[in-house]
Chains A and B, each alone.
Chain A
Amino acid sequence: MASDVEKWKDELYGTEIRAEIERFAEAGWEAIPDDEHDAWFERFKWYGLYHQRAGQESYFMMRIGPPGGVLEPGQFRQLVEIADDFSRGPAENPEFGNGWIDVTTRQAIQLHWIRLEDVPEIFDRLEAVGLSTVQACGDSWRNIVGCPVAGKDKHEHVDADTLATELHDTFKRNETYSNLPRKWKVSVTGCDEGCGQGDINDLAFEPAEKEIDGESVTGYNVRVGGGLSRNEPRLARDIDVFVTQEQAIEVAGGISGLFRDHGDRENRYNARMKFLVDEWGPEAIRETLQADYVDFELETAGEDLRDSYSYNAGEADGKHDHVGVHEQDDGNYYVGLNVLVGRIGVDDAYELADAAATYGSGEVRLTQRQNIVFTDVPAENLDDLRGEAVLDDYSPDPHPFQRGSIACTGTEFCSLSIVETKNRQVRFGRWLTDNVSLPEGVENFHIHLSGCTASCAQPQIADVSLRGMKTRKNGEPVEALDIGLGGGLGAEPQFASWVAERIPADEVPGAIANLIENFTEVRDGNESFREFVAARDADELADLIEPEETDYDDPYLHNTKRTWYPYADEDDLEASPAPARADGTPISSDD
């Protein structure tokens, strides 16, 4: 039986939603009929609007997805101004204040506390600079991710930026592909470092060469069915197809059409491409693609560059994360700045926008490690850029524990999350920086904190993977984390092994400190952490994690999901000021 979501999508979906959003915005939040809330909030996702969690009714998260994370000159500043004007909540966050932008692991920007009544003006302002929220959420083509320095990079093999943009232009607002069984995540990698993270996407284009009619042709190999969610991580599978840049569009349409027609619309838990590939196998996917969805003879896979992939490959001295100062192909430089857990307060964001325009081209790019990159900085501007005060906090040379931190949204706003994440990860990073030394030669250490098994912080591809859980401590339920080790991508991608479960959150920094101390003592020469983990079984690794309380203080051990906002002075759900009218006045249930 088709789910309610499928019924709602059949009734109205895609670009038709825009007029309905504007109608409700004009009439106000209360104009949405009570018995249609679920249907409309599901549809609004297609336009990048996600209703915030219980206790925050009438407020929305808004996502803006620029293809490949490229924000052209002026676009970043426009986003900051929108955040300044519209992304303010009824209470402050103790780490970040009130008003910020979030950089996501899919190279998008998220704003919170957005009121429906403000959405039309925000849409106008976004469109004025060429940005959009279209298909940022919902069951369709999501933001195309890829090499964040595509078109500028010395490591580039093919221009991923061109293909990412063509895919974006072809498949956004495209009625044929606007209603898929579930989300559809696409990655384009163009470099020899593998920074597009194709292995964890539904569809991945990876750089390759193929000899065709005696000529060496540059293009992409195709993989399908990767993803991390629901305790069912999969690496994208090779379907033995090579495409040129021109063929990539038709093949992308074909594979997403195959998913549209054959994905499971009865059961949303089974509706991702990874499960269809599990069921059919890569060979049957290829055969069906050839038979029913493309009009030319598919080439077999070409020679790929995967052996050279270094991005998130776990090398002890490797960085490969775009942070720092790097020469571009044209002799200018790109400067990657660390953004701790991806969140930038609006005051800092204005300063960063100024710096990008003053010292570079004004272009700002977003990375899959929640960081930002300024491009096109001439050599003579580098020292002045480095001297900007805002770079003290958004550093091109951050401490490894700051550099390696990623966190998802967490219970601050998300319905799925089990634990608080961003503020906790900030506190973890601060404590680890102050108290723990990495062994000599280890310059990179990735710690990813995800609030639940949806895995938005991509925990399975980190050195230390943290996943939200609960446990009981002193007779009371407290927020806890599962700990996994040894994940990463590169030439030999590997998901983390979960070796310790349900560790009270206040004992996790102590556990990481003890783990690193044990690693330092017994590692073999210059062994990387990932090699160290790979050489040991789960029991050995579990023994190296010794959770303990330290002077780290965790203010979020209680059930943060049972609050309307975890940091409010009066945080009970009953104290929530939501839902609220456009001016912020609460709407009581008696109204």
Chain B
Amino acid sequence: MSIALRTLDDGAWISVNNSRQVSVSDVWTLSRGVFCDCKPAYVLLEAFLDVRVDGPTVVAEAVGQCLECGVRETITYLPVGRIVDGTFEPVDPETVQSVLEPAGKH
């Protein structure tokens, strides 16, 4: 089953199958070292630049800023959800994410 994935409205949100599923302006918790030196890093997502699937994982490219140290960077591989039986299951932004690169690239 094909999944329609796209960013819309100037990167304000990620649409999955024509439904607004992931919005900017949430604070995502990233483990130490993957974004900046903060432990953990609390990163405000300001815009989604792209979205794609990597196996069952929905992965976004996004611009974010660390709320502690102020580093603003592009995150090229942020898992934002999974496709399970054709349904999108979002990742909770508050759970700590430690993987910001595709499997096999570590």
Seen from chain A, the residues whose Cβ lies within 8 Å of a Cβ on chain B are 4-5, 34-38, 42, 53-54, 230, 268-269, 411, 415-419, 452-454, 468-472, 477, 501-502, 559, 561-562
Contacts and interface: CB of A to CB of B under 8 A. Distances in A.
A38 B46 contact: no
Contacts of B11: 269
A38 B8 contact: yes
Contacts of A268: 10
B4 to A, nearest CB: 7
Contact of A4 (B6, B46, B49): B6
B68 to A, nearest CB: 7
A268 B25 CA distance: 20
Contacts of B49: 269
Nearest to B5: A4
Nearest to A267: B49
A54 B20 contact: yes
Contacts of A35: 4, 17-18
A224 to B, nearest CB: 21
Interface in B1-40: 4, 6, 8-13, 15, 17-20, 23-27
B99 interface: no
A37 B11 CA distance: 17
B67 A54 contact: no
A419 B9 CA distance: 17
Contacts of A471: 67
Given A269-B11, A470-B25, A472-B68, A452 B46 contact: yes
B83 to A, nearest CB: 16
Given A54-B20, A469-B44, A470-B25, 20 more contacts: A4-B6, A34-B17, A34-B18, A35-B4, A35-B18, A38-B8, A268-B10, A269-B10, A269-B47, A415-B9, A415-B13, A416-B9, A416-B10, A418-B44, A419-B25, A470-B27, A472-B42, A472-B68, A477-B42, A561-B23
B10 A477 contact: no
Given A4-B6, A415-B9, A452-B46, A54 B23 contact: yes
Contacts of A38: 4, 6, 8, 15, 18
A453 B26 CA distance: 15
B70 interface: yes
A154 B69 CA distance: 52
B46 to A, nearest CB: 7
A269 B17 CA distance: 22
Interface string B53-76: 000000000000101101000000
Nearest to B42: A472
B13 A54 contact: yes
Interface of A is mostly: mixed
A270 to B, nearest CB: 11
B68 A561 contact: no
Contact of B25 (A5, A37, A417): A417
Contacts of A419: 25
Nearest to B17: A35
B46 A453 contact: yes
A230 B46 CA distance: 10
Contacts of B6: 4, 38
A591 to B, nearest CB: 15
B96 to A, nearest CB: 15
**A4, A454, A470, A562: which has the most chain B beta carbons within 10 Å?**
A470
B12 A415 contact: yes
Contacts of A501: 70
Contacts of B46: 418, 452-453
B67 A561 contact: no
The 7 closest A-B pairs by CB, nearest first: A415-B12, A37-B18, A418-B25, A416-B12, A477-B27, A54-B20, A470-B44
Nearest to A454: B10
B18 A502 contact: no
Contacts of A36: 18
